[in-house]
Amino acid sequence: MAATHTLRAKHRRSALRTLAFLSPWLIGFAVFFAYPMISTVYFSFMHYDGFRAPTWSGTKNWTYVFEHYPFFWPALRNTLWLVVIMVTLRVLFGLGIGMLITKIKTGTGVFRTLFYLPYLAPPVAATMAFAFLLNPGTGPVDSFLEQAGIPAPGWFNDPDWSKPALTLMFLWGVGDLMVIFMAALLDVPREQYEAAELDGASAWQRFRYVTLPTISPIIMFAVVTGVIAAMQCYTQPLVAGKVASGVIQGAGTMFEPGYPEHSTLTLPQLVYNLGFQRFDYGSACVVALVLFALSMAFTALLMRRRGGLVQAGD
């Protein structure tokens, strides 16, 4: 009996010690995840403007966002476009630049610095610089294209070109991925390349069967973080749209999301628009939950695909 009691006390002490060590995380989880998560779900079913007490509205906010809010579907399409096209191009471009620099014999430091520097530019400044460069009326890019006899696009002023223009800007700031890929590429064991060469593998085969399997966890990291960043994309499209539209945001200026023709509108912009400009917190929570669900879905999908990309033991 006494032995059982001692054992129970030991287990209890052990459990308490474990909880004590876990408590920083548990508190953080409760405050920064559980509470906001439950609140978001709760407010998505409430009519709440931030001033008056919230009242139950059932599925009204959900119906409003999906059926009546004119910006939701364009924003969803734009966000998905950025997730699929921009992330893919960023990963390919980052990998390409990384590979190129690892092959260079001299001046590697200079090239590394040159490619990394744009990543350090503040997002607003970078966007304004690109809006200036790509201005269809006075920008040097279009002037050059016109002089070369190439039809100059409207870039941020043209709904067909605004997302490609944004993508160009994100490719310009690909320095973070380049550094990560360079580190991964330099980590690939040289002897594997030598063995492949002895077996008569071509450059493509060496890349496909040696490089790619080794760096696949890094590619997965780049894709997952890229997808999350693309879904949070807010500042650059907003600034680009504002600058290109000519509207200087200030008191008295009406908010005009997504210029031109909703083409730079993203879901995080809608959360801000609904929550902090229209003060319709319920609908803002609905859009936030859609973003959450999308993020879960993409991450889960990528984790399923991870098996095909990442080698056993990674």
Partner 1 sequence: MPARIPEVVRKAAFALTASTALLLSTTACTGQSEPQAGDDASKEQTITFWHAWSAPNEVKAVKSLVAGFEKAHPAIHVNVVGNMTDDKINQALRAGGSKAPDVISSFTTNNVGRFCSSGALVDLDPFFEKAHIDPAATFPKAMNEYTQYDGDRCAAPLLGDAYGLYYNKTAFAKAGVKSPPKTWSEFAADARKLTIARGDTYEQLGFMPNYHGWETTTEHYMGQFSPTWFSSAGKSTIAADPAVADAFTLQKKLVDDLGGFRKLERFRAGLGDEWGPKHPFQTGQVAMQLDGEWRLGMATEAEPGFEIGVAPLPVPDDRVDEYGKGYITGTIAGIAATSKKQNAAWELLKYMTTDTAAVVAFSNAIHNVPSTLAALKSPDLTYDPRFKTFLDIAADPNSTTSPASVNGGVYLTTIQQLGYDYESGKVTDLKAGLKKAAAQIDTDIAQAK
The nearest distance, CB 124 to partner 1, in angstroms, is 16
Of these, 24, 149, 200, 246, which contacts partner 1 (CB under 8 A)?
246
Instruction: Please identify, among the stretches 17-25, 91-99, 132-140, 182-190, the one whose residues bind partner 1 according to the rule CB under 8 A.
Output: 132-140
Type of residue numbered 77: R
Of these, 39, 59, 202, 311, which contacts partner 1 (CB under 8 A)?
39
Residues in the interface with partner 1 (CB under 8 A) total 64
Cβ nearer to partner 1, comparing 168 with 224: 224
Q: Which helix (H) or strand (E) holds 303?
A: helix 281-309
264 binds partner 1 (CB under 8 A): no
232 binds partner 1 (CB under 8 A): yes
The set of residues, in sequence order, having a beta carbon less than 8 Å from that of 89 and lying 6+ positions away, is: 167, 171
DSSP 32-84: IIIHHHHHHHHHTTEE--SSSPPEE-TTHHHHIIIII-TTHHHHHHHHHHIII
313 binds partner 1 (CB under 8 A): no
Distance separating alpha carbons of residues 89 and 121, to the nearest angstrom? 20
Of these, 3, 4, 24, 70, which contacts partner 1 (CB under 8 A)?
70
Beta strand pairing call for 55-56 and 46-47: antiparallel
Is-contact 174 94, C-beta < 8 A?
A: yes
Positions in the binding site for partner 1 (CB under 8 A): 32-33, 36-37, 39-40, 48-53, 60-61, 64, 68, 70, 135-138, 154, 157, 224, 228, 231-232, 244-256, 259, 261, 268, 271, 275-281, 283-285, 287-289, 291-292, 295-296, 299-300, 303
